Homo-oligomer: A and B are copies of this chain.
Amino acid sequence: MGIAIVGLSTLPEVRQGDELAALIRNAATAEGHNIDAATIVVIAQKIISKSEGATQDLRQVEPSALARTWAKASGKDPRLIEVALQQSRRIVKMDRGVLIAETHHGFVTANAGVDQSNVPGAEIVTLLPQDPDASADRLRAQLNAGAVIISDTFGRPWREGLVNVAIGASGLSPLEDHRGRHDHTGKPLNSTIVATADEIAAAAGLAMRKSDRIPVALLTGITWTPSKSKASALIRNPSHDLFR
């Protein structure tokens, strides 16, 4: 009883076309862990993107004037900025060396999720997966897992530091609505919709240190609400977002 989190550290370097479910299952078995209907598997976006070929060779990128200007101002590679602009549907902020963008999915994150770290060969960047919810669905079926979450580390306003959040989900409700319930004194709980999928991603983040090459965590002992709703439900409707 209680919640247990283990990271998987024996996955090989993932390449395009690799059967990711098989690599994860093999690593779990080699490390003495089981994946079943009681297991939530959290997978770092980076290896999903690599296996799906959601990458870009910077040598094939021709930066626009905007990308070149911004890259100069921020000390970044103009080709990476160009890829980030191509992944964006809205620029949230471009100031003091930081480019915050809303991706084509609706996620708000630095450089639209384009990332250079942990990709062998300095000229390749990863993009966010094209449809992380669909990737989560597929991997959950292949792994026979209870739920799958695809995670990435995002910054946030007001608070320092990155936290691991869910960008794809399958098998669980990413948001749990406690509003209909009552607290133990009998009063209704107000506006307590909990972003369970983000809390699960953050918990997994504790076991998935980037520099330790642990791109997958297995979580057991968590009670969740089975659901077909997706991590895209975590994206706040712009018309309801007081912060835009």
Q: What is the interface of chain A, defined by CB distance below 8 A to chain B?
A: 1-7, 93, 95-96, 98, 100, 107-108, 110, 116-120, 122, 153, 156-165, 174-175, 178, 181-185, 187, 189-196, 198-200, 202-203, 205-207, 209-211, 213, 221-222, 233-236, 240-244
Contacts and interface: CB of A to CB of B under 8 A. Distances in A.
A211 B179 CA distance: 10
B205 A199 contact: yes
B117 A198 contact: no
A162 B192 CA distance: 7
Given A4-B4, A120-B185, A183-B117, A194 B162 contact: yes
B3 A194 contact: no
Contacts of A118: 183-185, 187
Given A158-B108, A160-B193, A236-B157, A3 B207 contact: yes
Counting from the closest, the 4 A-B pairs by CB-CB distance are A161-B195, A203-B203, A202-B202, A157-B243
A159 B163 contact: no
B4 A3 contact: yes
Given A118-B183, A187-B122, A242-B95, A175 B202 contact: no
A111 to B, nearest CB: 10
Contacts of A117: 183, 185, 187, 189-190, 192
A211 B209 CA distance: 32
B98 A242 contact: yes
A136 to B, nearest CB: 17
Nearest to A159: B234
Contacts of A234: 159-161
Contact of A207 (B2, B207, B213): B2
Given A157-B157, A163-B199, A199-B203, 8 more contacts: A2-B207, A4-B5, A96-B240, A159-B165, A159-B195, A161-B196, A163-B194, A189-B210
B206 A222 contact: yes
A156 B6 CA distance: 28
A184 B159 contact: no
A178 B4 contact: no
A153, A165, A200 interface centre (most CB from chain B within 10 Å): A153
